[in-house]
Structure 1
């Protein structure tokens, strides 16, 4: 399962921008374009057959904008997304960075899973998911539209927009709730979607970097959502790891939302970068040798940390034989 891992360099980073209708996603895209940090390619997904948002993208040549109107990317647009990415990379002047603006109703997970596909990762690298919120209408939208909770649960950065239209108490409540739903996300308050590009682009959220606050803290969140870190100081047996992967990650897509980290295997000298979004995963051998230590951040609902840690420790036992 992991035997074909290899280091892939010079991939084009991709940031997915989600958020409910009217939150300010297109305004954010335009603000990032005006800052001109990279040569950008933009893919805009409209829910209906009549495209509007693509025409609102400013200051980019038409050939650098692809508008997908055949359907929501989270439902039927996987092939359309791959085709749009291939067209961008095939241009004589390929983009240095790609932005994907989702429709306001989109579940971001299928798009993220497409970007984690090994064939897509040969050319592109998922950098993060930015979720834009309308501060004043946050709680009404969250109550009436469950899609918004998914857009938050996987966010690497949360932009609390229209902060000029909400008082301080409401802004604090919105930030607290969104942070509980997205425990590893950076939170940015702004208005008119005015966010510096270096706050949301090239964040390497899917590099599996583990910061000290994440490593040392086990969080308990609303609606059963929690994050915790699994750590083991002995190299893992490949077969035992495959069992853990299947039973504790892939077979629990409704509970295990996100996993990222570094693995050390007995038979692979290099450190292995592991990523999973629900039941889709990727694994790549890096250039540096491992130090026998494995660490995984797990984000999910109603998970028993102690059970996961015990099962993870079992991955370093003797090889399983028939």
Structure 2
């Protein structure tokens, strides 16, 4: 089963690309694994036409909770009665792709799946070489087989050319595709065979801080594949030891998430005032919002200083507010109090 991993920094357009794949897949039966960095699963509620073929991975960054959750989810997809043609994994915006790659290249999954490519989305309107001083953002480009330079319509041509040169300086020979709203022909990104497992041999010793037991694609397990997978697909101690060295990027980057739920609607003006005074350390926010002034659902997206509100009916969903913020040094209590102050006064009598 071919596997494509979609990675990219906060707000780069990963869910938009995933929706494009699901909408335009030419009857390809695609299974989707979605990982959220936060305890409210917003992305899966924004995906189209996935129904039972979507698996939500546990709260937290996928590369830091890599072994049990991810491998078990992939086995669940493989064991479905109806055959799946393709598996697409959407990581969090703060994920380090390398541990995810190694899960497919260095465990039993290498015999059951084929890692086709790692697609890294880059927001052309927000990208800079330091990109918020994020270790994860740098690694996403380093380990990407293909760079989707997205949102090119929001910047000048000269800026796009400069960004491409900067990406090439970070990754020599990078394959770069320009896109708007992550819309690219699927033959350019699916079943392309760009991933080269041997390319990681030189990288992995650096990631494992010189650990001689580093878990490389050439490292083989001695598991009996005839046994029930429930007791043999766990990674061995070597993998855990190696992973310890490169799973600290969240601590290094300092990213945290703050989630908020409410079953009372917001007052639109109060929420607008809240947005006007958002802390500068919030890099990404997304949510499903209910306003007292409207019967509709509002899909809220914030990336850097750019904010959008798309409107659609609630349909069968129960109205309510669900919102997640991702940033550095966030004050959870303060954000909760300020959001609570946005709630509309209840109608009396």
Instruction: Tell me which interval the TM-score lies in, with the shorter structure as reference length.
Output: 0.5 to 0.7
Shift of 1:182: 2.3
Alignment of 1:242-281 (within 5 A): 251-253=205-207, 279-281=215-217
Question: What is the aligned partner in structure 2 of residue 271 from structure 1?
Answer: none
- Structure 1 residues 14 and 64: CA distance shift in structure 2, 3 A: same
Q: Name which of 40, 45, 54 aligns with 1:55.
A: 45
- Give the distance between the partners of 2:160 and 2:3, measured in 1 at CA: 29
Q: What is the TM-score of this pair, normalised by structure 1?
A: 0.62
For the pair 1:183 / 2:137, whether they are aligned, the reply is no
Shift of 1:208: 6.6
Structure 1 residue runs without a partner (length 5+): 1-11, 210-226, 228-244, 257-277, 285-322
For the pair 1:193 / 2:129, whether they are aligned, the reply is no
- Give the distance between the partners of 2:61 and 2:115, measured in 1 at CA: 19
- Give the distance between the partners of 1:164 and 1:48, measured in 2 at CA: 30
CA contact (8 A) 2:7 2:97 kept: yes
CA contact (8 A) 1:252 1:279 kept: no
CA deviation map 1:88-114 (0-9, x unaligned): 111111211100000001001111010
Q: What is the TM-score of this pair, normalised by structure 2?
A: 0.57
- Give the distance between the partners of 1:146 and 1:249, measured in 2 at CA: 15
Q: Name which of 80, 99, 110 aligns with 1:121.
A: 110
Count of residues in correspondence between the two structures: 215
RMSD: 2.5
The structure with the larger Rg is 2
* 3-state SS in 2 of match to 1:137: coil
Question: What is the aligned partner in structure 2 of residue 236 from structure 1?
Answer: none
- Give the distance between the partners of 1:20 and 1:177, measured in 2 at CA: 16
- Structure 1 residues 141 and 92: CA distance shift in structure 2, 3 A: farther
Shift of 1:72: 1.0
CA deviation map 1:107-131 (0-9, x unaligned): 0111101011240112111111100
Structure 2 residue runs without a partner (length 5+): 221-349
Q: Name which of 30, 54, 62 aligns with 1:40.
A: 30
- Give the distance between the partners of 1:110 and 1:162, measured in 2 at CA: 28
Alignment of 1:301-320 (within 5 A): none
